[in-house]
Structures are given as structure tokens and as C-alpha cells.
Amino acid sequence: MLPLYIDGVTGCRVVLDDPALRVLIPDKADRLFPLSRISRVICNGKVEWTMSALLACADTGIQLLFLDDKGEVRARWHGSNSDRQSLTQRMVDLLAYIDGRESYGNWYMAMEKLAVRSFARRIGLPNWRECSVSEMYQKLKSQLGKENNQKLLIFRYILLD
């Protein structure tokens, strides 16, 4: 599944041509996009939608994002939750890419670093921007001392496991 980007112009319309969305742009050939292959739709500018097309997206769990001419979010349309929006489906979609595992690894390391930095900043550790997970654990260990061994175990499981 891939996102569908629609760059709206005057007269651009989206209608349901079950089981697909039909995008009509003046002076261009109509284009069909099967609902089963769409993960979400991003509309930039003026795009007219029929109610049947909107409801088909809602029923199949396709989220719509409407942007104004400046690229700012104008509106969101959240469909019903479905398997296509589940974490499992999103992981399958990500890993289907050639560099999917590498992208996931990069994302995981970035989120881990973000969590550690946020935690270090909140507890007031100096130099929190350069703190790694193992450094964070060592600093917590030295700050908490032996009397707080239970708290340290909790932090260890959160940070290192």
C-alpha cells in the first residue's frame, strides 16, 4: 500500500468507481486508484470529493489529509480502524521495501535516543544531549545509590531491555 498524493487544480474531482477512486482532472485522462492499494490520501489545493468516495475511504480505513495552498493542514478525515492501519500491517508494509529493515533500525535507534534524552533532561542530568542508553543507566546507578535498588531495576528494564 502506498499513499496517494493529489495536487488539486480547479475542477479536480475524486469520485468512487468501486473498487477504486477515480481522479478527474480537466484536460487529462481519468486515473483509477484501487482502494486496496491506498494507505492514505494527501490532497493539496482544491479537490472536490463525492460523499460516496469519502465514505468508501472511511469504510476501508483510509485516512485523508487536506492541505491548503500553502501546505498547511486544513482538515483530516479519519476512517474506521481496520487491519490496514494496524501496527502489524504498517510493519509488513515497511519491511516490504528493499531498505525496510535498515529504515526500521534507524527509526528504532532515533526513538531510543529521543526517549533517553527526554528522560535525562527531565531528571536534570547535565549534558543530556550526549547521553547514550548505557551512560544513562550508569548515571542513574550512581545517583540513586544502593538504597534505591528497586527503582534502579525498573529503570534498567526500561532502558536496557
Report pLDDT digits (tens) over 98-136. Answer: 998 999 988 888 888 887 777 777 777 677 677 677 777
Lowest mean pLDDT among 3-12, 54-63, 67-76, 145-154: 145-154
Categorise residue 121: left if φ over 0, alpha if ψ from -120 to 50, beta otherwise.
alpha
d(CA 110, CA 113): 5
Structural domains counted in the chain:
2
Which residue, 85, 120, 152, sits at the end of a domain?
Answer: 85
Look at residue 49 in the predicted model and tell me its pLDDT: 95
User: Does residue 101 fall inside a structural domain?
Assistant: no
Q: Are residues 7 and 58 in the same domain?
A: yes
13, pLDDT greater than 70? yes
Helix (H) or strand (E) holding 89: helix 87-95
User: Does residue 102 fall inside a structural domain?
Assistant: no
Look at residue 15 in the predicted model and tell me its pLDDT: 96
156, pLDDT greater than 60? yes
Q: Are residues 81 and 139 in the same domain?
A: no
75, pLDDT greater than 70? yes
User: Does residue 138 fall inside a structural domain?
Assistant: yes
12, pLDDT greater than 80? yes
Q: Are residues 11 and 59 in the same domain?
A: yes
Average model confidence (pLDDT) across the chain: 82
Q: Count the helices and strands in the chain (H runs, E runs).
A: 5, 8
Candidates 116, 146, 119; CA nearest to 134 is 116
158, pLDDT greater than 80? no
Helix (H) or strand (E) holding 116: helix 100-122
Q: Are residues 80 and 115 in the same domain?
A: no
More confident residue, 144 or 100: 100
C-alpha cell at 149: 535498588
In the predicted model, what is the mean pLDDT of residues 128-157?
A: 71
161, pLDDT greater than 60? no
